[in-house]
Amino acid sequence: MSTQSAGGTSSSRPTVTLSTLQKMKKRQEKFTCLTAYDACFGQLLSEAGVDVILIGDSLGMVLQGHDSTLPVTMEDMIYHISCVKRGNRGSFLIGDMPFMSYASETQTLENAARLMRAGAQMIKLEGGAWIAHSTNLLAERGIPVCAHMGLTPQSINRIGGYHVQGRDPRQAESMLTEARLLEEAGASILLLECVPQTLARTISEALEIPVIGIGAGPATDGQVMVLHDVLGISPITPKFVKNFLRDSNAGIRGALQDYVAAVKSQQFPAPEHCFD
């Protein structure tokens, strides 16, 4: 396997690709993901062994101070993806398509291409069955898609709050059906946010593609967290968050390495971080 990093600099760690993540799922080896928005943290995360870096539209809340992700623009995403790309040393980079940037076919294709040119290696779309067509369009054109289901913050005004999704058996059933549909449409990764741990387990076992979770319990193939939550500097601390900096003996680098070790050894998430 090549040791050339995505940023073009050699590193001791093999570059993580989509096929690395697929193999990890087959071997039942957990993979790690954290958000980053700049070059410095992009480098720190990849040097700490974080497999996947998500340049998430959560930047609208943690960097820009908005109360939702809705104000984030394509220009914001391009800027932050290109910053992280410059710092990255071999992690796999996923870039978020911001609110209303994939509302039509033309918009979806043009905007996804802009994020890939900025340095994303996969793009993330929020939604269920309704994003199957866009997922298929992108996948057929060589753009890998991460489909984000469960709590989808871009739909916060329709959902009505940051609540767990899929507790109702009918909703759980339709989430499983939609997850299968997205896999068939060509999604390469599924991300589940704030869903009961049993539902996340069922979906992870039903799909061939890697499933990554946040607030979705220990059974998903990978775990993702917002960087500011892991460092304990977010103004609110949801149940599924753990502050890894508090117990770190080695500052931020140590906290990031502890997060990686805790996910790989399946010590995180613990029962107190999960929803039933």
Q: How far is the CB of 96 from ligand KIV (least distance, A)?
A: 5
Catalytic residue among 75, 184, 193, 272: 193
User: If binding is defined by CB under 6 A, does position 119 make contact with ligand KIV?
Assistant: no
- Choice between 96 and 258, CB closer to ligand KIV: 96
Q: How far is the CB of 227 from ligand KIV (least distance, A)?
A: 9
What track of x and - describes contact with ligand KIV for positions 209 through 248 (by CB under 6 A)? -----x---------x-x----------------------
Both tokens assigned to 123: 């793009």
Among the listed ranges 52-60, 82-90, 100-108, 112-120, the one in contact with ligand KIV (CB under 6 A) is: 52-60
193 classed as catalytic: yes
User: If binding is defined by CB under 6 A, does position 38 make contact with ligand KIV?
Assistant: no
d(CA 251, CA 244): 10
What track of x and - describes contact with ligand KIV for positions 171 through 210 (by CB under 6 A)? --------------------x-x-----------------
Q: Which residues of 63-94 are buried (b: 16+ CB within 10 A; e: fewer)?
A: eeeeeebbebebebbbebbbbbbebbbbbbbb
What track of x and - describes contact with ligand KIV for positions 141 through 170 (by CB under 6 A)? -------x----------------------
- Choice between 11 and 259, CB closer to ligand KIV: 259
User: If binding is defined by CB under 6 A, does position 58 make contact with ligand KIV?
Assistant: yes
User: If binding is defined by CB under 6 A, does position 57 make contact with ligand KIV?
Assistant: yes
Among the listed ranges 15-23, 49-57, 102-110, 268-276, the one in contact with ligand KIV (CB under 6 A) is: 49-57
Q: Which of 7, 30, 44, 56 binds ligand KIV (CB under 6 A)?
A: 56
User: If binding is defined by CB under 6 A, does position 51 make contact with ligand KIV?
Assistant: no
Both tokens assigned to 138: 């992108």
- Choice between 80 and 89, CB closer to ligand KIV: 80
Among the listed ranges 50-58, 157-165, 168-176, 236-244, the one in contact with ligand KIV (CB under 6 A) is: 50-58
Q: How far is CA 175 from CA 2, 99, 167, 198, 211, in A?
A: 37, 21, 11, 13, 13
Mapping DSSP onto H, E and C, the string for the chain reads CCCECCCCCECCCCCCCHHHHHHHHHCCCCEEEEECCCHHHHHHHHHCCCCEEEECCCHHHHCCCCCCCCCCCHHHHHHHHHHHHHHCCCCEEEEECCCCCCCCHHHHHHHHHHHHHHCCCEEEEECCHHHHHHHHHHHHCCCCEEEEEECCHHHHHHHCCCCCCCCCHHHHHHHHHHHHHHHHHCCCEEEEECCCHHHHHHHHHHCCCCEEEECCCCCCCEEEECHHHHCCCCCCCCCCCCCCCCCCCCHHHHHHHHHHHHHHCCCCCCHHHCCC
- Choice between 90 and 95, CB closer to ligand KIV: 95
Active-site residue numbers? 193
**Residues lying near ligand KIV in the complex (CB under 6 A):** 35, 54, 56-58, 96, 148, 191, 193, 214, 224, 226
